[in-house]
A = this chain, B = another copy of it.
Amino acid sequence: MLDLLRAKMINDSEGRNGFKQPKVMGSFIGHALPGSFFLIIGLWWCTKSILKYVCKKQKRTCYLGSKALFHRLEILEGITLVGMALTGMAGEQFIPGGPYLKLYDYKQGQWNQLLGWHHFTMYFFFGLIGVAHILCFIFSSLPFCLIKLMLSNALFVEAFVFYNHTHGREMLDIFVHQLLVLVILLTGLIAFLEFLVRNNVLLELLRSSLTLLQGSWFFQIGFVLYPPDGSPAWDLVDHENIMFLTICFCWHYAVALVIVGMNYAFVTWLVKSRLKRLCSSEIGLLKSVEREQESEEEM
């Protein structure tokens, strides 16, 4: 009975993937693309947050981190996000064998490739973040934290869709997607917390590292479910694999933390070395004063 069910499920999943990808390879790319996107955006957010924080600490925003530069960067980020979202939405619809904007297949009397429409919806909400970016910098009356709200919004929607994405699949398939939902949900919560508690650099770095984790976990899912070297997929009903992927998830996170830490060290060193050339004497004085004040606050 259970074996029958299992066999049926495998047939189902083959049928499902059969629509979209003629080769197994295709599905790996389907996970690698969002993975790369989140890795890039995570690195960018991380660098931006550190840059802002270091510039503010050094009180030397005149040279490197001028306001105008940051404004232009923000609007550029918005345009990039909108562009990526539009590309993703178009790609999901018009790839060979895609839904071509057809939601219901009246001939066969069934829904037409709903998984593609799921991805389409997620891209749309990420596009809204870009729209919020652009609107906030065009109209002065809009509050700036709208961006954070739309970000947490997009992440919550993504988590919601992924949570309902894996009805009737195999145990390991569900497990890796559950971990994905976990990390997306946590990122969304951190983004919402940033919306309430502003200008906390550690929260921003935490969000960046969770975004990096999400990106690398997309790659991991691709490797587990559709090995790109053509080898057979992992055993999807083995408990040992779940045990391994649990710690694998933690290691991904550890690597993300280390990358953020090294990025911090690199950016700080870069800003300081550039500033040293300009005005080496004053900064030393400023720093010692700040250190005093801080340690007083801490006590």
A residues adjacent to B (C-beta < 8 A)? 52, 54, 56-57, 61, 67, 70-71, 110-111, 114-115, 117-118, 121, 124-125, 128, 140-141, 143-146, 149, 153, 157, 160-161, 164-165, 167-168, 193, 195-197, 201-202, 206, 239-244, 246-247, 249-251, 253-254, 257, 268, 287, 290-291, 294-295, 298-299
Contact partners of A157 in chain B: CB under 8 A: 250, 253
The distance in angstroms between the C-alpha atoms of A287 and B196, with both chains bound, is 25
The distance in angstroms between the C-alpha atoms of A290 and B291, with both chains bound, is 29
A15 to chain B, nearest CB (A): 12
B299 touches A121 (CB 8 A): no
A5 to chain B, nearest CB (A): 13
Task: Name the residue of chain B whose CB is nearest to the CB of A292.
Answer: B140
The distance in angstroms between the C-alpha atoms of A168 and B146, with both chains bound, is 42
8 A-B pairs within 8 Å (CB atoms) are namely: A57-B141, A61-B299, A114-B247, A118-B246, A118-B247, A121-B251, A140-B290, A164-B243
Identical subunits present: 4
A141 touches B268 (CB 8 A): yes
B240 touches A111 (CB 8 A): yes
A243 touches B294 (CB 8 A): no
A39 to chain B, nearest CB (A): 20
Give the residue of B54, B117, B197, B243 whose beta carbon is less than 8 angstroms from that of A247: B117
Give the residue of B118, B246, B268, B294 whose beta carbon is less than 8 angstroms from that of A164: B246
Contact partners of A168 in chain B: CB under 8 A: 239
B247 touches A201 (CB 8 A): no
The distance in angstroms between the C-alpha atoms of A54 and B141, with both chains bound, is 8
Contact partners of A121 in chain B: CB under 8 A: 247, 250-251, 254
B250 touches A111 (CB 8 A): no
B254 touches A111 (CB 8 A): no
The distance in angstroms between the C-alpha atoms of A66 and B191, with both chains bound, is 36
A183 to chain B, nearest CB (A): 11
Contact partners of A254 in chain B: CB under 8 A: 121, 124-125, 128
